[in-house]
Structure 1
Amino acid sequence: MSEQEIALNPARPYLVRAIYEWICDNQFTPHLLVDATQPHTNVPVQFVKDGQIVLNIAPHAVHQLHMSNEAITFSARFGGVSQNIYVPLAAVMGIYPRENGRQGLFFDPSEYDNVTEQAPENQESTPNPTTPEKKKPSLRILD
């Protein structure tokens, strides 16, 4: 078989997990650069600037961080309000330490062009962040 016939999984999820571990092992603060315009991306829209958002994913800043081959999920507080975050791996533009942004890893945006995207499981379809849907405020008690 030639290389063209073999469908390889994108390397991005593996590299994100590895760089995240390296950043944490070196006592730095991992930040994720996200393209908030990608489908199914659920991030706090009020903090999106030019279609992008930078998320602090340090262990002390997030709750229930999970990095799968499809997405990065966690909950965190934004402006004092806890929110569930869903970032498909196709939306991850880079991961880097806040203390030294040059030693991170940034990705080719076309890597996911030929990958079939599926709607996330257990995740409602979210509107595009550029047109936020107004919701009634709600209060939720977290354990």
Structure 2
Amino acid sequence: MTPNRPYLLRALYEWILDNAMTPQLLVDTSVAGIVVPVNYIEKGRMILNIQPDAVRDLVLGNEQITFSARFGGKSFQLIVPLNSVLAVYARENGKGLIFEAEEKNTSILPEKPNEKTGKLLKPHLKVIK
């Protein structure tokens, strides 16, 4: 399956705006491909206000977030890969979501071998009509 992070991020962004609050992103600035103004990085992280009044041309894509914002009076084009987003939350009350590190396999089915036989465990569910 495709990662759920972009869908959750877009949903929370809209939810925060619907509640008349300010959506913010906490990003890991050490992730490859991120483009942010370096003067505003603190301890390898940065908080970005993505409220519509604070940004221009915001695109919440499936691979990255892009937008233009002003820092110290200067316009800056930001590129934020989705795997660098650590959290999305409302500035006013902190409500939102902290993302876990993405794993390659997000299956909920067991993949451990049976201790007795050494074979992979199969799902024990069956179709009921």
Cα deviations by residue, 1:88-122 (Å, 9 ceiling, x for unpaired): 00000010000011x1101002x1x539xxxxxxx
Per-residue CA shift, 1:25-84, capped at 9, x if unaligned? 100000000000000000111100110000000000000000110000000000101000
* Aligned position for 2:35: 42
Q: Identify the structure with the greater strand proportion.
A: 2
Query: Runs of 5+ in structure 1 lacking a partner?
Result: 1-7, 116-143
Asked if 1:104 corresponds to 2:86, the answer is: no
Amino acid at match of 1:107: F
Q: What is the rounded CA distance, in whole Å, between the counterparts of 2:31 and 2:84 in structure 1?
A: 6
Provide runs of 4+ in structure 1 moved above 2 Å.
Answer: none
Structure 2: 5+ residue stretches without partners? 106-129
The structure whose RCO (Cα within 8 Å, separation 6+) is larger is 1
Match of 2:45 among 39, 47, 52: 52
- From the two aligned structures, give the one with the greater helix fraction: 1
Calculate the TM-score normalised by the size of structure 2: 0.79
* TM-score calculated relative to the size of structure 1: 0.71
How far apart, CA to CA, are the structure 1 residues paired with 2:4 and 2:37?
Answer: 27
Aligned length: 105
